[in-house]
Amino acid sequence: MSTLFKVEVIDRVMFARFPNPPSKTDVQKVLAEMATHRERIGKPLLYVGLIDSKSKIPNAEERNHLSQFLAAGRAYCEVAHLVIEGSELQNSLQRVIISGMLIVTRTYDNFLSVHKSVDSVAPDLLKRLGKDPGPILRRVRELGLAT
C-alpha cells in the first residue's frame, strides 16, 4: 500500500512528506529520486523528511524500511532532518524515542537530527546553503509539504 508521499527538491534540499510510514516500494521510489537529484545537482542533498502529526506509529516492518532508508540515503545526502510535526504526547514521544535510538545504536553522528517543525531546520540549511532558507521554506509550505 502506498502512503501517497510527496517529494520536492528545491535548490539542493529534498523535502519528502509522508502521511503514514513508508512502504518498501515508497522507500525504493524516494531513494531512486535521491539518486537522480544527487547526480543532477552534483552535490550531496540536504534531506528533510516530514511526518504528519496524525501519522500512525510505524510497525516493526515499517521501522525496518525506515532503517534501510536511513542507511541507503547516506550515499546521496550530506545530512538528514526528520520533522515529526505535532505537540501531542505521541508526537513528542516519537521524537524522543528516535533520538534515543540513534544514541543506543551508535548511529548518532550528526547525520540525522529530529525536529518538531520545519522552522527548526532553518539554521542548518542556512549554514549548509550559505543563504537564507526562508524562501525555500515558504515554497515548501505553499506546496503543502510542511505546516
A 10 A CB-CB count for 104 gives 9
**CATH code, domain carrying 78:** 3.30.750.24
The number of angstroms, rounded, from the C-alpha of 33 to the middle of its chain's C-alpha atoms is 14
Q: What's the predicted TM-score (pTM) here? A: 0.84
Query: Roughly what angle, to the nearest 10 degrees, separates helices 122-129 and 134-142?
Result: 120
Query: Structural domain tally of the chain?
Result: 1
- C-alpha–C-alpha distance, residues 38 and 7, integer Å: 14
* Range(s) of the domain holding residue 118: 6-142
Segment among 35-49, 53-67, 70-84, 125-139 with least mean pLDDT: 53-67
User: Scanning the structure block, which residue is given the C-alpha cell 550559505?
Assistant: 130
- As a three-state string, the secondary structure of 82-123 is EEECCCCHHHHHHHHHHHHHHHHCCCCCCCEEEECCHHHHHH
pLDDT in tens, 70-113: 889 999 999 988 887 766 656 555 645 555 455 444 555 678 77
37, part of any domain: yes
